[in-house]
Amino acid sequence: MVLRKRQRLGEKMTPSLVFDIETIPDTDGLRKLHDLPAELSDEEVANIAFHQRRQQNGTDFLALHLHRICAISCAMREGNHFKVWTLGDAQSCEAVIIQRFFDGIDKYTPQIVSWNGGGFDLPVLHYRGLMHGINAARYWDLGEDDKDFKWNNYISRYHTRHLDLMDVMAMFNARANAPLDDVAKLCGFPGKLGMDGSKVWDAYKAGKIDEIRNYCETDVANTHLVFLRFKLIRGQLTQAAYDAEIALVRETLSGYQQSGDANHWAEFLAAWQ
């Protein structure tokens, strides 16, 4: 049986952009909403918000509009190239990295891919983009500018211009959701290494923004690898093309490791047997 829409390494294809965000409490916003004294530290403000949240629903996970983005990492597959990076630098402000994310969508019109992006990453980006007045015309197009977007846009849950792998694999049923770490490891990929989302706030308070950025990059690498496996089972990649894509990821990450400025890739590759 001939599989439809097979794609081989080097063939022209829609660019893919796997993305992931890391967040911390929006302490400035919390001060404003709760009329808290200016002399309170960010940690004290966050602890008040966590306490109030626990009283409301038993968890200290803040409502999405109260998250501030501290890192956005991407894995881009375009043409013959693959790249993993984090937008901006450790000192870049939130507005700058959000604008760069949407600028990339404007430039490439990629298929964007996430793990729980519809449930977390994109709503946070929506709220924060609204607060900062971010220009994201291509992303928000529902067919007004490009008629093709009426039938396949970034906003609809059931379109694939944004592919939320977790949502699709669970058949859009929250009870069937699975964590990326488990799925990546069960597929033979490294999974999370040394950090998870619950540790980001503590790492940020300790000034470990580079560690957060590195962690975010390994998350998008894991997601990209799961995405490749998904394309294989869909018949969008032949086994040979899949093997070539995997080899490209290994080669790219090995190059980063050899640059001497990316110890997290050495750990990632060591865990990837």
Q: What pLDDT is stored for residue 10 in this prediction?
A: 42
**Residue 157 forms part of a structural domain:** yes
**Residue 190 forms part of a structural domain:** yes
**Residue 259 forms part of a structural domain:** yes
pLDDT per position as a tens digit, 115-160? 999 999 999 999 999 999 999 999 999 999 999 999 999 999 999 9
* Per-residue tokens: 137: 């015309």
Q: What pLDDT is stored for residue 194 in this prediction?
A: 80
Residue 158, number of CB atoms within 10 A of its CB: 8
**Residue 46 forms part of a structural domain:** no
The residue ranges of the chain whose pLDDT is under 50 are: 1-11
Q: What pLDDT is stored for residue 12 in this prediction?
A: 59
Question: 67's torsion region: left (phi>0), alpha (psi -120 to 50) or beta?
Answer: beta
Q: How many domains does the chain have?
A: 1
Q: Give the residue among 81, 80, 72 at the shortest CA–CA distance from 102.
A: 72
Q: How far is CA 165 from the centre of its chain?
A: 11
**Residue 59 forms part of a structural domain:** no
**Residue 94 forms part of a structural domain:** yes
Q: What pLDDT is stored for residue 258 in this prediction?
A: 78
Q: What pLDDT is stored for residue 4 in this prediction?
A: 46
Range of the domain at 202: 16-24+69-271
Q: What pLDDT is stored for residue 165 in this prediction?
A: 98
Q: What pLDDT is stored for residue 1 in this prediction?
A: 40
Q: What pLDDT is stored for residue 263 in this prediction?
A: 86
Calpha distance 170→29 (Å, rounded):
34
Helix, strand or coil, per DSSP, at residue 74: strand
Q: What pLDDT is stored for residue 260 in this prediction?
A: 62
CATH number at residue 138: 3.30.420.10
Amino acid letter at 247?
Answer: A
**Residue 44 forms part of a structural domain:** no
